[in-house]
Structure 1
Amino acid sequence: MSKKLIATLVLLVGFGGLLSGTLFKVAEPVQAIVFQFGDPRRVITEPGLAWKIPFIQEVEYFDKRILNLDPQPEEILLADQKRILVDTYARYRIIDPLKFFQSVRFERAFVQRFGSVLNAAVRDSVAKVEMIDLLSDKRIDVMNEIVEKVRQAAPQYGVTLVDVRIGRTDLPAQISQNVFDRMRTDRVQVANRLRAEGEEIKQRITAEAEREKTVILAEARRESNVLRGEGDAQRNRILGSAYGQDPEFFRFYRSMEAYREALGEGTSMVLSPDSEFFTYFGSRK
C-alpha cells in the first residue's frame, strides 16, 4: 500500500471523526441546550440534525413530553384539628429548557424543589378546611386554589403545569387505629343495644303468647265444663225418663255399670255370696 493511500485513509478517518463530533441528533421527544465550557450557547427545540464545535461544546438533552411529579405525602392539620395524610401529584412539561437549567439544572433537583412548592400549596389550602369539606363539593374549590398557586410558581422554573390532583387522603396510622377502635366500640354498643331490644321484644311476645295461651285454655276449660254439664244434664234427663218407663231395667243397667267399674282387671273383692251387690248374678226363674 502506497504512502499516499495511507495518508488519504487517515484523513478520511479523521474527517469522519471530526464530522461525528460536530453533528448530533435532536429526537422528537427531546430538546437540547448546547454548552461551551459550561455556559449555555444555543437552545434547540426542533427535531433534526444540529451542529456543535467538537471538543469545545457539549449537548444536554431535556424531555419535552409530559412528566410526572409525585412528592412524598404531607401530614396536614385541618381546621377541625384532625390530622390527615394528603398524597398529591402533578403533571408538567418543560417549555423553556434554558430557564429550567438555570433554576434547577437537573430534573432531580426540580422534583425536590417544585415538590416542596406543591406540598406548601396543598398545606396552605387544605389546612383551612374541615374533614367534611374534603368529602363534599367544596373539594373542587380547594383543588382550584391549589392549582392556581402552583401554576403561578411554575414559570420561574421554565415549566408549564398540566394538572394537579390529590391522589388520596388518609388518616395517620395511629389515628386510623384510634378511629377504628372507636368505630368498633360504637358498633359493639349498637349490637348490644339491638340485642337487648330484641330480648325485650322476645320477652314481650313470649308473655303475650303465654297470656293468650292461658286465656284460650281457660276459655276451653270453661266451654268444656259447660258442655260436660249440659251432657250430664241431658244424660240425667234421659236416664230419669228411662227410669220412669222401666225402673227394673234402670236398676239392672246401673248394676252392670257398677260391676264394670268394681270388677276391673286385677280387682280383688271379699263379699258375701248373698250380698245384694250380686243380685243379678243369681239364677232367675
Structure 2
Amino acid sequence: MQRLLRYLVAGLVVLVLASFAFTFQVRFTEAAVKTTFGKATDESVIREPGLRFRLPYPFQEVTKYDTRMRLLTLKVETQQTADNRQIAVETFCTWRVTDPLKFFQTFSSAGERSEEHYQKAEQALQANLRAAAGVVSKFTMQDLFTAETNKSKIPELEIAMKDAFTQSADKQGVKLADYGVEAIDVGLTRILLPEAVTSAVFDRMKSGRERIAKEIESQGQSQAQAIRDRANSDSQKISAFAERLAQDIRSKGDNEVAPYLALMNKNPQLAVYLDQMEFIRGVNPRTATLVIPSSYPGFNLLMPDSLNGIRAGQLPSFTTPESIKSALNEMAGTQPAAKPTGGKK
C-alpha cells in the first residue's frame, strides 16, 4: 500500500513538471513570443489568451510582454525658449508594445527576461523624449504663458513634442515604429521658471490683464452710451407719437362737439337750463345732505313757486353763470351775450 502511494505521488510530481515544461498560459493583457532555438517568426507571436503547448527548454522558449500602457517620465531638464529664456521642464510619455515580434528582435539582446527588455526599451525612449523636449526652443515665453484665456500654445507644444518623439531616430537610424511600440501621449508634467524669468512672466501677465480690463471697460462704456442714445431716441419717438395722438383726439373732439356748440349758441338759456338739470341729477340724497340757498344757480328750480306764471313753451327766469357764458363765447368765438331777463326770446 505504501509503495502504491509512493508511485501516485511520484506520478503526480512528474505530471506537474511535465505540464510546466510543455505548457504555458497567456493572459488577456499579454502577448507572447515563442522562439525555437532562439529564432522567432511571425507565427511565433501569440496574442489570444489561453493555455498553449510548447517543447521544453532548450528547444523552445516563451517570452511574455504586457501590452497595457506604460508610463515613462524624464527628470527636470533646462531648455531655452525662442526668446532666449531659460526654463526647466519635466516631460513624460505613455507607450505600449504593439508589435511583440519587433520588440523582441530589437531588445532581446538585453537578456532573457521581459523586464530586461523593458529597461533597454526605456533607455531608447528616454533619448527620444529628450529630443522631443528640445521643441521648446521653437516657442517664446509669450506663447507659453499668456494672460488671455485659452491663448497658451502649450497644447501645440505637446503635439509638436509627440511628432518629434515618434520621428526621432537613434544612431543606427532606428525610429520608434521599428521598436514595435506605440506612443500614446507625450507632454509636460510641469514647467519651472527661474526667479528672474518668473518676475518677467508675472509683469507681462499683469500688463496683459490691465490691457484686457481697459478693453472691457471701453466696450462697456460704448455699449452704455449706445443704450442711452437708443433710449433717448425711443423716448423722443414715443413723445412725438403721443403728441400726435393727443392732437388727433383733440381735433376729433372739437369736430364732434362743434355741432352741439352751434346748437347751444342758438339758445344759450336752454343750454344753461340743461346744465343745471344735469347738476341736479348728479346730486345723490342718500349719501349727502346739502344746504344751499335757492339763489345758487340751478337750485331756484327746486322752489315750489319756481314755475308759477310760466306759460307753455316759456322757460323759467334764471341767471346765466359767468363761467358758462365765457365757455360758450370762447368756443363759438362770439362776443359776450347780454344777460337774459326771462320770457320768450
Q: TM-score range by the shorter chain?
A: 0.5 to 0.7
1:255 pairs, out of 249, 268, 273, with 273
**What's the Cα RMSD here?**
5.5
- Is the counterpart of residue 99 in structure 1 residue 109 in structure 2? yes
Q: Who is 2:315 aligned against? A: none
Q: Who is 2:164 aligned against? A: 142
Give the CA deviation at 1:234. 3.6
Cα offsets for 1:151-189 (capped at 9, x unmatched)? 8469xxxxx6113314253663999xx9xxx9xx89x97
Q: Who is 1:111 aligned against? A: 118
Code of the residue aligned with 1:145 in structure 2: it is Q
- Is the counterpart of residue 222 in structure 1 residue 240 in structure 2? no
Code of the residue aligned with 2:109 in structure 1: it is K
- Is the counterpart of residue 278 in structure 1 residue 300 in structure 2? yes
Alignment CA distance shift 1:68-1:62 (3 Å): farther
Alignment CA distance shift 1:51-1:279 (3 Å): closer
1:276 and 1:202 mapped to 2: Cα distance?
59
Of structures 1 and 2, the one scoring higher in RCO (CA 8 A, sep 6+) is 1
1:51 and 1:122 mapped to 2: Cα distance?
38
Alignment CA distance shift 1:209-1:166 (3 Å): same
1:64 and 1:133 mapped to 2: Cα distance?
37
Give the CA deviation at 1:282. 1.7
Corresponding residue SS for 1:256: helix
Code of the residue aligned with 2:255 in structure 1: it is E
Alignment CA distance shift 1:151-1:167 (3 Å): farther
Give the CA deviation at 1:221. 1.7
Q: TM-score, normalised by structure 1?
A: 0.53
Give the count of matched residue pairs.
Answer: 233
Q: Who is 2:73 aligned against? A: 73
2:125 and 2:108 mapped to 1: Cα distance?
22
Cα offsets for 1:203-241 (capped at 9, x unmatched)? 55544433332222111222222223333444333333x
Give the CA deviation at 1:118. 0.6
Give the CA deviation at 1:63. 0.8
8 A contact 1:26–1:32 mirrored in 2: no
Q: How does 1:182-261 map to 2 (within 5 A)?
A: 203-240=228-265, 243=266, 247=267, 250-261=268-279
Code of the residue aligned with 2:164 in structure 1: it is V
Alignment CA distance shift 1:108-1:69 (3 Å): farther
8 A contact 1:118–1:150 mirrored in 2: no
1:197 and 1:151 mapped to 2: Cα distance?
65
Give the CA deviation at 1:27. 5.9
Give the CA deviation at 1:110. 3.9
Gaps of at least 5 residues in structure 1 are 1-5, 34-41, 53-58, 155-159
2:105 and 2:73 mapped to 1: Cα distance?
27
Cα offsets for 1:35-74 (capped at 9, x unmatched)? xxxxxxx74768853567xxxxxx9955166856724334
2:127 pairs, out of 120, 130, 133, with 120
Corresponding residue SS for 1:94: helix
Alignment CA distance shift 1:268-1:224 (3 Å): farther
Corresponding residue SS for 1:165: strand
